[in-house]
Amino acid sequence: MEMTGAQILVEGLLREKVDMIFGYAGATICPLADVLRSTPQLGYTLVRNEQNAGHMASGYARVTGKVGVCIVTSGPGATNLLTGIATAYMDSIPMVAITGQVPSHLLGRDIFQEVDITGAASPFSKHSYLVKDAADLPLILKEAFYIASTGRPGPVLIDVPIDIQEQVVKDISFPETVSIRGYNPSVRGNDKQIAHVAEAICQAERPVICAGGGVFLSDAMLDFETFAARTRIPVVTTMMGLSLLPTDHPLNMGMIGTQGNVCANKALAKSDLLIMIGTRAADRAIFSPEEIQRRMPSIHIDVDPAEIGKNIQTEIPLVGDVRVILQQLLKRDLTTRCTPWLTQLQERRKEELNREYPVRAGSVFPGRLLRLLGERLQEKAAVCVDVGQNQIWACKHLWLKGGRFLTSGGLGTMGYALPAGVGVKVAQPDRQTVVICGDGSFQMAMNELAAVRAGNMDLKIVLLENGVLGLVNQIQKTAPYHGPFGVSLDGSPDFAAIAAAYGIPSITVGEEGEVENALDRFLAEKGSCLLIAKVDPTVTTSD
Amino acid sequence: MKQTISVLVENRAGVLGRITSLFSRRAFNIDSLAVGVTDDPAISRITIIVDNGNSVVEQVEKQLNKLVEVIKVRTLDESSMIGRELMILKVSANAKTRNNIMTICDICGAKVADISPTSMTMELSDTPDRVNTFEEMMRPFNILEVARTGMIALQKGGGKI
């Protein structure tokens, strides 16, 4: 069998069961594009900026559990993609990015559209390859998908010079399996440690589970719910763990952190055993790890041994896949004695959930809108949330019945939500999908309305418009700073006209009393729709 | 406290770059780093000296282990390892000073590698401490140039990492 490098790449993608590519064409990726042209079983979504190919692949990967794939050209195509790769890296999203590259014999000469992209991406990619011989491609692709999707998932970059895409290889064979001597992620938890964990759980009087994005990444949602229900241990989540349990689940105490729920933070502060599952306990979630360490012992379950002891010291480390470990634990006696503690927290949580929202004339209170929106969503709805005040409001107020809450939790990349929503829709066209943005973040990605339009998607976009980069504005108004600078979004367009230009209808709501009606019409719309909510710029994330 | 980390890696292009980039990105300080191929041409050994607290060294080990091309990582215990560094040192020398220099070379076990009417060049392979001592002793003779390799190390006895 004789194949070109480009044919090998496409055959490899098909063998990995890839059905969608998010990409942008360019000169050095043309040999590959030429093969894609005659491979209709591989779907292709054209982005309007390469960064968004990364976010779309991320949205796609997060709802399917499959590896998201993006393909872009060399130089600026590749550097534009970098933010997408870094965003995926920080949230441990399985992704394979293929970049075109200048001819291999010209590497290092700074020729047109040349950039050292494997070097540039090295601090925030799980692994990378610069392909020097097309004969290596079958193994490289197999390894790349294996590395991206196993252990702690992450983005893997394959940089393919144009001559390698054109190189003809004879007697090509594709490996079925792969083994890499320096890469052996732990799966099963150590039995001794499992016993320690079970024992500690049974003895604690005020235990609390802190769950993060790792539970989703190991596809452990059901085992997690079973584990929580069996032990009756109150659950708090990080931002990446939101939607693991419905908002009003009797064990759910909300999100922890500087921007989290009061009840969740109280639960964490007063607990006598912290059980961290699939979370790195970064600064946004656990602001002062030293204080937590001083107050209570902790159990840390994570697939990445480097996360254990990195941000917070732990008494009982347990390395392995979260799902496998939860299944191991569920075979043990898990009789706990924390019911009084749970009851106490539940009362506090109830007060928090039943809060009254203020009504202001002439604007929409974002918290109330998001709560009402959540109540109206289908049980399995995916909600993609951007970065800024909109993210904090959504974390605090959006009522979740389960479904999926997707946001850029680690890197905090503005403009993530819209392309991520496109990725979800591409993967699961029938799943109700809502994007929540501010007017700052929306303007970073609104060119992707073209992808929404081209895909004829039913994507619902909520735009909380207050004319300001609200979260930065809040920071600048607080000591040691002296006031706002560079945060007023002057010159912003008429967003209804922007949507209309892409053939997408919109609804504008500026009065509290009209919110319910507007939400009902918005969600009833047959195709995509933009809901523009006029928010008072003085409303903060603490209101 | 200085600690010695021995790392076995795939002998491939770009691996050293990944390791040094990891150190800079995680803000770990490197005192010295030495690389060379092992008896297996597919594997290189990198010996890294770091000067950090214990918890940092543990994090260094864990982060190194995450690199796909890293095969094994081990922090070597100072009392049970052989650690050597090679130094080449050039000093000013003339008929008056040559004998004094030779005496110190004898005491320290350094060899003369090159000689000229105005200079002498010595080589010494020893523990970093003793290499430092030799350099100190040479200082009064006016050191012209120094090159050091950074330490390489193996553990004592029959075991291997």
CATH of the domain at B87: 3.30.70.1150
Classify residue A15 by burial, with Cβ atoms within 10 Å: 0-12, 13-18, 19+.
Answer: middle
**A270 and A376 both lie in a single domain:** no
Segment-wise mean pLDDT, segments of 10 residues, chain A, 543 residues: 96 97 98 97 97 98 98 98 98 98 96 96 96 97 98 98 98 95 94 96 96 97 97 96 96 93 93 96 83 90 93 93 97 93 95 84 93 96 98 95 95 98 98 98 98 97 97 95 96 98 98 96 97 95 89
The whole-number pLDDT of residue A287 equals 80
Cβ contact (<8 Å) for A306 and B21?
no
Res. B126: pLDDT tops 90:
yes
Rounded distance, CA A303 to CA A148, Å? Answer: 14
Phi, psi (degrees; rounded to nearest 5) at B121:
-120, 125
Contact at 8 Å (CB) between A245 and A349?
no
- Does residue B46 belong to any structural domain of this protein? yes
Res. B55: pLDDT tops 80:
no
- Does residue A181 belong to any structural domain of this protein? no
**A400 and A520 both lie in a single domain:** yes
Rounded distance, CA A347 to CA A345, Å? Answer: 5
Give percent above pLDDT 90 in chain B: 79
State the nearest Cα–Cα gap between B20 and chain A, in angstroms. 10
Structure token pair of residue A543: 């209101």
Which residues of chain B does A182 touch, with a Cβ-Cβ cutoff of 8 Å?
A: 9-10, 67-71
What is the mean predicted confidence (pLDDT) over B142-157?
96
**A372 and A345 both lie in a single domain:** no
The whole-number pLDDT of residue B72 equals 95
- Does residue B112 belong to any structural domain of this protein? yes
Residue where the block lists tokens 């209804």: A496
- Choose the final residue of a domain: B76, B93, B115: B76
**B13 and B37 both lie in a single domain:** yes
Rounded distance, CA A519 to CA A530, Å? Answer: 11
- Does residue B159 belong to any structural domain of this protein? no
B12-37 pLDDT tens trace? 988 999 999 999 888 888 899 999 99
Residue where the block lists tokens 């770990």: B28
ipTM of the complex: 0.86
The whole-number pLDDT of residue A515 equals 96
The whole-number pLDDT of residue A309 equals 87
- Does residue B33 belong to any structural domain of this protein? yes
Which residues of chain A does B21 touch, with a Cβ-Cβ cutoff of 8 Å?
A: 119, 122-123
**A253 and A334 both lie in a single domain:** yes
- Does residue A359 belong to any structural domain of this protein? no
The whole-number pLDDT of residue B43 equals 97
The whole-number pLDDT of residue A525 equals 97
Closest CB to A123: pick one of B9, B21, B65: B21
What's the CATH code of the domain at A125? 3.40.50.970
The answer for residues whose C-beta is within 8 angstroms of residue A513's C-beta and 6 or more apart is A359
Phi, psi (degrees; rounded to nearest 5) at B12:
-135, 160
**B66 and B122 both lie in a single domain:** no
Q: What is the largest CA-CA distance in chain A?
A: 73
Closest CB to B59: pick one of A182, A183, A310: A310
Beta-sheet pairing, B30-37 with B2-10? unpaired
A residues 482-541 lying closer than 8 A (beta carbon) to B: none
The answer for residues whose C-beta is within 8 angstroms of residue A171's C-beta and 6 or more apart is A1
What's the CATH code of the domain at B17? 3.30.70.260
Rounded distance, CA A198 to CA A318, Å? Answer: 12
Rounded distance, CA A272 to CA A234, Å? Answer: 12
Q: What is the DSSP letter of A173?
A: -
| Containing structural domain, residue A82 | 2-170
| Containing structural domain, residue B50 | 2-76
- Domain total in chain B: 2
What's the CATH code of the domain at A295? 3.40.50.1220
- Choose the final residue of a domain: B76, B99, B117: B76
Cα A527 vs. chain centroid, distance in angstroms? 24
Cβ contact (<8 Å) for A304 and B17?
no
Contact at 8 Å (CB) between A74 and A102?
yes
Rounded distance, CA B78 to CA B120, Å? Answer: 33
**A265 and A404 both lie in a single domain:** no
**A370 and A344 both lie in a single domain:** no
- Choose the final residue of a domain: A352, A384, A400: A352
CA nearest B49: which of B110, B112, B113, B4? B4
